[in-house]
Amino acid sequence: MDKNEIKILLVEDDKGDLLLTKKALNNCPQLVNFIMDSAGSLSETIKCLNSDKEYDVILLDMGLPDSNGLETVRRVCEATDIPIVVLTGLGDEEIGLSAIKTGAEDYLTKDMPLNKFLVRTIRYVLERKRVEEELKAAHIRLVRSEKLATVGQLASTVAHELRNPLAVIKNATYLLNMEEKIKTEPDIRENIDIISEETNNADKIISDLLQFSRVKEPTLRVTGINKIVERVLKKVKVPSKVKITTKLHNDLPDIEMDSLQIEQVLCNIVSNGIQAMDYGGEMIIETAIEDNYVIVSVADTGCGISKENLKKVFEPLFSTKAKGTGLGLPVCAMLIDKHYGQINIQSQLDKGTTFIVKLPIDKNTENLEKTSDNPAAESAAAAITKGE
């Protein structure tokens, strides 16, 4: 489907008015690319909104068989945040203004020449909605960026303060293991091994904190993405119950990148996918070329991520794992941002998750959009800049 196609839900119970509105839309030369569904009652409207279909705008008649007046507007506004243009035949501007106060974006009276006003109103409403969403997303990114910059500075301080005592503990356990008495006491030796293991885990967390607080600029060299994928699969431990399928494009151009940083990103994504398939499954890794980007997608058939958590996966310190630091994906977002790339995620609970990494072929930054469609990922990337 064309991404510029306007999807309209027309809510109208009067067949004559329904035909007139459809005719007005069909006769508008400025609106040649639209599809439209119709509903004749409030219950049908709610059913359409709860379906898998997506709509850009609702044209809403206020008088329906099962609802009337401002109550109709209120009920539809409660069911969706899709922009609503009220169509009223009453010719009363006060009612139209009351509908806007109730939650509609605009109104038209049916005695207006719809050919002239309808398309202009739809385009105005959609543009205003787009601007509002951009402002909201920008505000969210700004707030998160300020918070994450503070987290990054705190992480650096805490990591440095903890690393010295951890080093002492590691040295002490090493010396204890050298004692002959310890070698003859299995219970004591087991406890020392536990201390040593947990100390190593803590050291790994500190390393993650330090990496989050100071992501290095990439050292760019011309490299092939397929070679990096192959290195990742040699490095990551894949259990026998997980099947790895690769679909690597043979004619991809080599591009400028920091191969170690991109390898780190893909190692993290592949490892996460494998861990999500506790009971086995399949992971498909594909490379491709699209527009000005080389693309790597990593799809697993694991447990998936809920819609609520999907918004948080790029936020530092957020993790659903018992021993997760919540820093892996934020660092991935930062590294991809440093390459003027994008990292996006799609997921369904109990079906699996797909990560899509895009790296630009042409580093002309004027033509590139950095990071991802996820505001949290953009905030993570922005925060490191503020914290440097």
Can you spell out the DSSP letters for 300-342? E-SS---HHHHTTTTSTT--SSTT--S-HHHHHHHHHHHTT-E
Which pLDDT score is estimated for 384? 43
* Alpha carbons 254 and 97: distance in angstroms, whole number: 58
- Indicate whether 147 pLDDT > 70: no
Backbone φ/ψ region at 347: left (φ over 0), alpha (ψ -120 to 50), beta: beta
* Structural domain boundaries in the chain: 6-112, 138-213, 221-387
- Indicate whether 293 pLDDT > 90: yes
Contact 354, 276 (CB under 8 A): no
The average confidence (pLDDT) of the chain is 83
Which pLDDT score is estimated for 65? 92
Third-level CATH fold of 138-213: Helix Hairpins (1.10.287)
Q: What is the pLDDT of residues 56-70, one digit of tens each?
A: 999 999 889 999 889
* Alpha carbons 244 and 116: distance in angstroms, whole number: 57
Task: For helices 328-338 and 375-387, give the axis angle rounded to 10 degrees.
Answer: 80
Contact 34, 5 (CB under 8 A): yes
Superfamily name with CATH number, domain 6-112? Response regulator (3.40.50.2300)
| Nearest alpha-carbon partner for 32 in 59, 3, 5 | 5
Over range 323-345, report the average pLDDT: 84
Looking at residue 366, the DSSP 8-state letter turns out to be G
Over range 293-297, report the average pLDDT: 96
* Alpha carbons 114 and 100: distance in angstroms, whole number: 19
The class of domain 221-387 in CATH terms is alpha beta
Q: What is the pLDDT of residues 126-144, one digit of tens each?
A: 888 888 888 887 776 676 6
- Indicate whether 303 pLDDT > 70: yes
Contact 352, 301 (CB under 8 A): yes
Over range 243-267, report the average pLDDT: 95
Q: What is the pTM of this model?
A: 0.55
Q: What is the pLDDT of residues 36-50, one digit of tens each?
A: 899 999 999 999 999
Amino acid identity of residue 267, one-letter, is C
Task: For helices 70-79 and 42-49, give the axis angle rounded to 10 degrees.
Answer: 20
